Amino acid sequence: MGMSRISPQRRRDVLVAGACGVFVAAMIGAAYAAVPLYNWFCRTTGFGGTPQVATAAPADILDRKLKVRFDANVAGGLPWRFEPEQNSIEVKVGEVVTVSYRVVNESARETVGIASYNVSPPTVGAYFSKINCFCFTDQRLKAGETRDMAVVFFVAPDIVKDSEQDGVETITLSYTMYPARQTEPVRGENGAAAGRS
């Protein structure tokens, strides 16, 4: 059927429907575009307790003191023991601090893990900056190996300018060790266990 047999009315219908179809495709695209955008948004603004990555220490150290608690978890499917050296410390705002976490591979095989991290309350993410962290890279541990891993962080001095953070006395830095890059589908070898333990 050639174009000549399509009535002008029909052409208008196809035009409107086509525009709607393009729109639907664009919205599906937008849903997928939200994934990198959300990731970028969290990293940039500290939204949802996403700590910042810093390359240099802040210029000044303030008198305000905060308690920083350290939390360590191991997700199912990873035969590791994982704990902070100290449960909590007092830091001055702007002071660069190094703390250590210890991880032990309790199994008889080499395993690879990577830590996810965030801080609580979620609104201090923008002011919690890490200069270095074991969570930036995969950790590969031989059978039975023990490793001490460092986190270098500071609480950014800008926190005192944000009135919403005035009531904050304690910040909790939390890590969860996962088996590195789950390539199996969820119902694979570490399926049910992963969600439940």
Partner 1 sequence: MDTIAKAHGEDQHDHPHGWRRYLYSTNHKDIGTMYLAFALLGGLVGGVLSIGMRLELMHPGLQFFHDSHMFNVFTTAHGLIMIFFMVMPAMIGGFGNWMVPLMIGAPDMAFPRMNNISFWLLPASFTLLIISLFVEGEPGAPGVAAGWTIYAPLSTTGHPGPAVDFAILSLHLAGASSILGAINFITTIFNMRAPGMTMHKMPLFVWSQLVTVFLILLAMPVLAGAITMLLTDRNFGTTFFTPSGGGDPLLFQHLFWFFGHPEVYILIVPGFGMVSQIVATFARKPVFGYLGMAYAMVAIGGIGFVVWAHHMYTVGMSTAVQAYFVVATMVIAVPTGVKIFSWVATMWGGSLEFKTPMLWAIGFIFLFTVGGVTGVVLANAGVDRSLQDTYYVVAHFHYVLSLGAVFTIFAGWYYWFPKMSGYMYSEPIGKLHFWLTFIGVNIVFFPQHFLGLSGMPRRIADYPDAFAGWNLVSSIGSYISGVGALVFFFGVAHAFMRKQRAGDNPWGAGATTLEWTLPSPPPFHQYNELPLIK
Q: Summarize as ranges the residues that interact with partner 1 (CB under 8 A).
A: 9, 12-13, 16-17, 20-21, 23-25, 27-28, 30-32, 34-35, 38-39, 42, 47-49, 75, 114, 116, 120-123, 164, 176, 178-187, 191-192, 194-196
Nearer to partner 1, 59 or 167 (CB): 167
Q: How far is the CB of 162 from partner 1 (least distance, A)?
A: 9
Pairing relationship of beta strands 52-53 and 128-133 according to DSSP bridges: parallel
Q: What letter represents residue 174's amino acid?
A: S
Residue 14 CA: distances (Å) to CA of 1, 4, 9, 24, 41: 15, 14, 9, 15, 38
Q: Which is nearer to partner 1, 57 or 120 (CB)?
A: 120
Q: Which is nearer to partner 1, 1 or 28 (CB)?
A: 28
Q: In 152-197, where does DSSP find H-type helix?
A: 191-196
The dihedral through the CA atoms of 24, 30, 35, 41 has a sign that is: negative
Nearest distance, CB of residue 5 and partner 1, angstroms:
17
Q: Which two tokens stand for residue 103?
A: 């991880």
- 3-state DSSP assignment of residue 39: helix
Question: Minimum distance from CB of 87 to partner 1 (Å)?
Answer: 22
**Smaller CB distance to partner 1: residue 32 or 161?**
32
| Least distance in angstroms from the C-beta of 96 to partner 1 | 26
